Amino acid sequence: MIILSRYLFLSLFLMCVNNVLVAQKHTFYAPLTQESMRENPDVAFKQIRRTLHEALDNYEIAVCYGQMGELYYFQAAYLQALDNFYRAESIFRKHSHIPELAAIWIKIGETNFHHKQYPSALKAFEQGHALYTSAGTKEGIADALAHIGQVHEKNGNLEEAKRYQYLALAQLGEQGNWALAAKIYENIGSIYEDKFQLDSARLYFSKALEISKKTDDKILHIEITNNMGDIYRKTGEYSTALGYTRQAISLAKQMNEHYQLASAYRDLAKIFSLMGQYDSAYHYSEAGRNIHADMFSEDNAKQLTILQTLFELEQKEDAITQYKRERGVHFTMLLFGAAIVLLLLFLGLSVISRQRLKIVNDHKLHEQNQKLYETQKIAMETELHNKQLKAENLRNELELKSKELTSHTLHLVQKNQLLEELKDKLEAIVKSDKRDQRKELKQVLNLLQLNHNQDKNWEDFRVVFERVHEHFFDGLKAHCSKLSSADLRLAALLKMNLSSSDISTLLGISQDSLRIARYRLRKKLALPEGKSLGIFIQQL
């Protein structure tokens, strides 16, 4: 009877603990809106990753992957977007969520379309159309047809593009989605504009503009307004064209839409050029070009930020996972310890109640203690062996990362040397007497310089460098918290013990500029006279 009550108590105790752990795993799932992903990508990224980690079923996981893909799509990181879209597609297909699967294929098509992969985009849109057709979703069918028509327009198949747009319009009906209807009318107007049937184009753009006013899609309203101005410019009605284009500029400024603003500035420059007002045309042309340059830098910064956030979150999640795993092991050991204590307690009570069998019970207790000791000894030896294996793996991983860092550095040196040679050759051509080629060559030089200064391989280098030298930048910032990104990059290259010529090639500067940069870094770090900067960096 005593033994039976002993095991019943232990079973009840373990069941209570298990119920507490299961209750702690319950989470609340709340999808994000596109507006929140556009306005706060960092916050949205963290929330999606957290939701994905705590998702309770496959549908939630697929939705999280889809939203992760949209987030990357908004940041123009198309390859990462496609990777997440295909993950969502695999789960939706496996569990036969047809409408969601069709929507994911449309997203895949849009990503390939904006990445100028038109054959892949067409296949994705056709797949989405087939799925929407099987589900009988009229609005989805219309959307897929409109996207297919856009691909045909880009490929120059204007008649086929027009046929698909009319099919989409017929499928949508009169009481369908206003925003989608406006977009289809705009697509038809664009096709007529490509065919230079400007009266028909203006008719459909006017319909699209009228319908867009009934929607909340402000960006679509700006696009159509700008298209109206473009049509009037092509028909020679410059004052009307100026009115529409300036209205598009005003709306773009209110919405802080840089892409639409740059497009409107370019059209405004064309109008002024046709009117003979070349100063105004040059002014707005330069304004549009500057916005595009800023947008390019901003897109690069967004991609860099989101990828850096991804790496940091992965590191944090690995640390959290490791902590939870260790805490789980400790908690399990605590449970077993409590179970052993309870068992020993019941054994003691049994010994007291059975004084006549004291010798036999003492012998049994000794045997049990001996087995427990042997078990603990084996467990400790196993744990020690595992720690030794882990330390060996860490040493091998560090050696591999060091080799990878060296490989990245050599690759950057070779690439920047090649860019320097190309730059020198192009500068020599620019200084030649062929004046008619100077403008184009200067543009090539600017692209080479931009590539030289903002190459993504620098981010790859930083990722690998921080894995090998985990606390280097923290130690450096402890001496001076106002170090710039250029200072940190120079310090990292000094830590690699590279030659001055290799460092100047990697940074794209001259040897004199490198000496100035080293001098400024010494000043910021407040190194005393005679203290070597290289030795100081190596000791961090």
> Can you give 197-266 as a three-state secondary structure string?
CHHHHHHHHHHHHHHHCCCCCHHHHHHHHHHHHHHHHHCCCHHHHHHHHHHHHHHHHHHCCHHHHHHHHH
pLDDT band, residue 119 (cuts 50/70/90): very high
User: Could you give the residue ranges of the DSSP H alpha helices within 55-97?
Assistant: 58-74, 78-94
The token pair that represents 199 in the structure block: 């009266």
Query: Does residue 267 belong to any structural domain of this protein?
Result: yes
Q: Which residue has the higher pLDDT, 356 or 235?
A: 235
> Exposure string (b/e) for 418-453, b if CB count within 10 Å is 16 or more?
ebeeebeeeeeebeeeeeeeeeebeeebeeeeebbe
Query: Does residue 230 belong to any structural domain of this protein?
Result: yes
Mean pLDDT of 481-502: 87
pLDDT at 334 (0 to 100)? 79
Lookup result for tokens 């549908």: 59
Lookup result for tokens 């390939």: 112
pLDDT at 309 (0 to 100)? 62
| Beta carbons of 461 and 412 less than 8 angstroms apart | yes
Mean pLDDT of 222-239: 88
Query: Does residue 103 belong to any structural domain of this protein?
Result: no
Which residues span the domain enclosing 188?
A: 177-295
Mean pLDDT of 447-462: 62
Query: Does residue 283 belong to any structural domain of this protein?
Result: yes
Mean pLDDT of 89-101: 91
CA-CA-CA-CA torsion for 386, 390, 392, 396, nearest 10 degrees? 150
pLDDT at 365 (0 to 100)? 79
Q: How does the average pLDDT of the chain come out, rounded?
A: 79
Query: Does residue 285 belong to any structural domain of this protein?
Result: yes
pLDDT band, residue 527 (cuts 50/70/90): confident
Q: What is the CATH number of the domain that holds 186?
A: 1.25.40.10
CA-CA-CA-CA torsion for 381, 383, 385, 390, nearest 10 degrees? -170
| Beta carbons of 187 and 153 less than 8 angstroms apart | yes
pLDDT band, residue 33 (cuts 50/70/90): low
pLDDT band, residue 164 (cuts 50/70/90): very high
Query: Does residue 534 belong to any structural domain of this protein?
Result: yes
Task: Give the count of beta carbons closer than 10 Å to the beta carbon of residue 114.
Answer: 13
Per DSSP, the chain holds a count of helices (H) and strands (E) of: 23, 0
Q: Which residues are CB-contacts of 276 (< 8 A; sequence separation ≥ 6)?
A: none
Last residue of a domain, one of 276, 295, 314: 295
Above 50 in pLDDT, residue 125? yes
Mean pLDDT of 269-287: 87
pLDDT at 516 (0 to 100)? 92
In this prediction, what percent of the chain has a pLDDT beyond 90?
Answer: 14
| Beta carbons of 84 and 77 less than 8 angstroms apart | no
Mean pLDDT of 192-206: 88
Max CA-CA distance within the chain?
A: 119
Q: Position 79: which residue type?
A: L
Query: Does residue 524 belong to any structural domain of this protein?
Result: yes
Q: Position 474: which residue type?
A: D
| Beta carbons of 90 and 127 less than 8 angstroms apart | no
Mean pLDDT of 89-93: 92
| Cα–Cα distance, 122 to 444 (Å, whole number) | 32
Above 70 in pLDDT, residue 116? yes
| Cα–Cα distance, 198 to 206 (Å, whole number) | 12
Lookup result for tokens 């895949």: 108
pLDDT at 345 (0 to 100)? 82
Considering only 38-42, 263-267, 400-404, 529-533, which range has the smallest mean pLDDT? Answer: 400-404
What are the distances in angstroms from CA 240 to CA 3, 169, 244?
97, 29, 7
What are the distances in angstroms from CA 175 to CA 95, 178, 512?
32, 8, 70
Considering only 49-53, 159-163, 227-231, 474-478, which range has the smallest mean pLDDT? Answer: 49-53
pLDDT at 252 (0 to 100)? 84
Look at the chain and report how many structural domains it folds into: 2
Above 60 in pLDDT, residue 454? no
pLDDT at 406 (0 to 100)? 65
* pLDDT tens track for 371-400: 888 888 888 888 888 888 787 777 766 665
Q: What is the CATH number of the domain that holds 508?
A: 1.10.10.10
pLDDT band, residue 4 (cuts 50/70/90): very low
Q: Which residue has the higher pLDDT, 175 or 383?
A: 383
pLDDT band, residue 447 (cuts 50/70/90): low
Last residue of a domain, one of 295, 328, 357: 295
pLDDT band, residue 118 (cuts 50/70/90): very high
pLDDT band, residue 413 (cuts 50/70/90): low
- Using the Cα atoms of residue 104, residue 109, residue 112 and residue 114 in order, give the sign of their dihedral: negative
Last residue of a domain, one of 274, 295, 316: 295
Q: Which residues are CB-contacts of 120 (< 8 A; sequence separation ≥ 6)?
A: 109, 112
Query: Does residue 71 belong to any structural domain of this protein?
Result: no
Closest by CA position to 495, among listed 459, 522, 467, 465: 465
Mean pLDDT of 294-303: 63
pLDDT at 364 (0 to 100)? 80
Q: Which residues are CB-contacts of 231 (< 8 A; sequence separation ≥ 6)?
A: 189, 193, 198, 201, 202, 205, 241
Mean pLDDT of 342-361: 76
pLDDT band, residue 297 (cuts 50/70/90): low
